[in-house]
A = this chain, B = another copy of it.
Amino acid sequence: MEKYDAFLLDLDGTVYRGKEEIPEAVAFVKTLKRKGLRYLFVTNNSTRTKEAVADQLSGFGIPCTPDDVLTTSMATASYIKAQKPDAKVLYIGEQGLKQAMEQADLHYEDRNPDYVAFGMDRQITYEKYSKACLAIRSGAKFVSTNPDVALPNEQGLVPGNGALTSVITVSTGVQPVFIGKPEPIIIELALQKIGTTKQRTLMIGDNYDTDIMAGINSGIDTLIVHTGVTSEEALRTKPIQPTYSLKSLSEWIFN
């Protein structure tokens, strides 16, 4: 019997790099599928819908349906839904967050909402920030999809959601609940979604500070692959090591 029957996989740097798939990862997921092992793609990207993610992965030849995807936007909606099923939410973000809120039947409200849910928004405006600050000062709870401070684009590192979120944090003095990696919330929701236990689940990712720390913070085993952000040298400086460290997923040995 395999030691793990469920695998949580990061996307960029783990199964693809930018617009190209990582062949070892494609083969790895195909093997999971063939062996009937469960898997879920867990991404801090809040802007895309689960359908958009599944389409991209399918295009790489990776077996994936929208049900195999958990975005931070979906996790944010689940988190709010569990706390207050009829919550009114001022959500600020892109299509992925809007769809997640609608599918969770959480209604948009910008005057006296119960929650402010903030996600990456490349159409951010001062007016949106103002509404969020006024709502939080009036008592709305503050949730943010993920704490990433920087994102790569063609020109370099541009602001991530954690940086955009800080306007509200600094202005109101209220810290948000972050949902995405490295926070444990998204991992707990991932385990619920696929119906597995911590003991039988492995978190796989390329980024120590987000993917691996999410696993460590959740008390599940972790596998780092050196196909993305964190190099072997950088990994050696970390006080807590992942359970496994591999150059690529072709090195993983199934029983």
Contact = CB atoms under 8 A, between A and B. Distances in A.
Interface of A: 121-126, 129-130, 133-134, 137-138, 149-150, 153, 155-160, 162-164, 166-173
A236 to B, nearest CB: 22
B133 A122 contact: no
B156 A137 contact: yes
A166 B168 CA distance: 9
Contacts of A169: 166
A41 to B, nearest CB: 26
Given A121-B126, A124-B126, A133 B157 contact: yes
Contact of A159 (B121, B126, B150, B173): B126
A130 B138 CA distance: 31
A176 to B, nearest CB: 13
A71 to B, nearest CB: 19
Contacts of A134: 155-158
A79 to B, nearest CB: 23
A8 to B, nearest CB: 27
Given A126-B121, A126-B122, A126-B123, A150 B163 contact: no
Contacts of A126: 121-124, 158-159, 164
B167 A171 contact: no
Given A129-B164, A160-B171, A164-B167, 4 more contacts: A124-B126, A133-B157, A159-B171, A162-B170
A137 B157 contact: yes
Interface centre among A133, A134, A137 (most CB of B within 10 A): A133
A163 B126 CA distance: 11
Contact of A167 (B156, B167, B173): B167
A170 B153 contact: no
Contacts of A162: 170
13 contacts: A121-B126, A122-B126, A129-B159, A129-B164, A130-B155, A133-B157, A134-B156, A134-B158, A137-B156, A157-B171, A162-B170, A163-B167, A163-B170
A136 to B, nearest CB: 10
A166 to B, nearest CB: 4
Given A167-B159, A167-B166, A171-B160, A130 B149 contact: no
